[in-house]
Amino acid sequence: MNSRTIISGFMFMILLALFLSCNDFEFKQHLTDPVVDTVAPVLNLLGKEIDTTYLQISSTTLSTNGASGYTWHPGNSTSNYPDPGAQVLDEINGQMRCTDLPLEVTGVVNNKFPGRYVLYYNVKDLAGNKAATVSRTVHVLENSAAFLNGDYSVTCNCTVTTNNANTPTVTTSSYTAAVVTSAKVNNQFKVTSLKTGPEYIVPSITLVGNSLDVFYYTRNYNSKVTTTALSPDKSSFSVEIQDYFSDGSFAYTCNNVYTKIKTEQN
């Protein structure tokens, strides 16, 4: 018997021992009672336990060509409450781990009407163990800037200054736009059209007392808001913006005055 035969025989004995030990382990497992899962899943609420959302009017298409593209339907909502949901933990191999068990949510948040709404969350694992219910309270409120919602006629006076001209050029134009309050942030609203130089942009505006904090993006110019104002009767507001090329070759100063179009609702 050579050394190669001895090694082969040795390896065979090792494999046989492993095979028998595995069979013995499986046999013992069959003799023992199955492990019963009695640990219930755990729910961790994501987001706020007490949250606030705001009414939002319905709209058609967002337009930046001078036409509002909005249909005025007070009290209707274009966006459902953005529910953050809940995290589901269940026992896996003796440790609580995140799982993709289906979350059960009961209750609704009706953005069409102000009020207090409650959402309830629950989940069951594959063994039927049920988690302790968690809940979220959502208050639907009217945005404090809602009095601005509606359609507006806009008059825009633009002064164009160039390096090659001794006197600036003044142009006047008119267009329509709409104001739509945010369903997420109080005192915030969008204006569907704001003329700045040759462009129409869609700014996001925050009402701060009788002033307006305007945020927007324009792709062709350096830009800044110079003045804003809300009329005493709150039926109109104005936004003046200055746009200019970085080389100083020319600059636009455009004052947009928004006057609410009277309807049966207002």
Render the chain in DSSP notation, one character per residue.
Answer: --HHHHHHHHHHHHHHHHHHHHHHHHHHHHHSPPPP--PPPEEEE-S-SEEEEE-----S----SS-------TT--SS------EEEEEEETTEEEE--PPPEEE----TTS-EEEEEEEE-B-TT--BPPPEEEEEEEE--TTGGG-EEEEEEEEEEEEETT-SS-EEEEEEEEEEEEE-SSSTTEEEES-EEETTEEE--EEEEETTEEEEE---SSSEEEEEEEEE-TTSSEEEEEEEEE-TT-SEEEEEEEEEEEPP-S--
Task: Enter the pTM of the model.
Answer: 0.66
List Cβ neighbours of 41 (8 Å cut-off, separation of 6 or more): 88, 89, 90, 99, 101, 123, 124, 125, 129, 130, 131
- Whole-number pLDDT of residue 20: 44
Tally Cβ neighbours within 10 Å of residue 220.
Answer: 11
Domain ranges for the chain: 1-32, 42-141, 146-260
146-260 belongs to which CATH class?
mainly beta
> Along the 266 residues of the chain, how does pLDDT read in single tens digits?
444 444 455 555 544 444 444 344 444 444 455 677 788 999 999 999 999 988 866 543 333 344 334 333 333 334 578 889 999 999 888 888 888 899 999 999 988 788 999 999 999 998 899 999 999 999 999 899 999 988 899 999 998 887 766 666 778 999 999 898 888 889 999 898 898 877 888 888 999 988 899 988 766 667 777 789 899 999 999 999 888 776 667 788 899 999 999 876 55
- Whole-number pLDDT of residue 107: 93
42-141 belongs to which CATH class?
mainly beta
**Dist. CA 49–CA 51, nearest whole Å:** 6
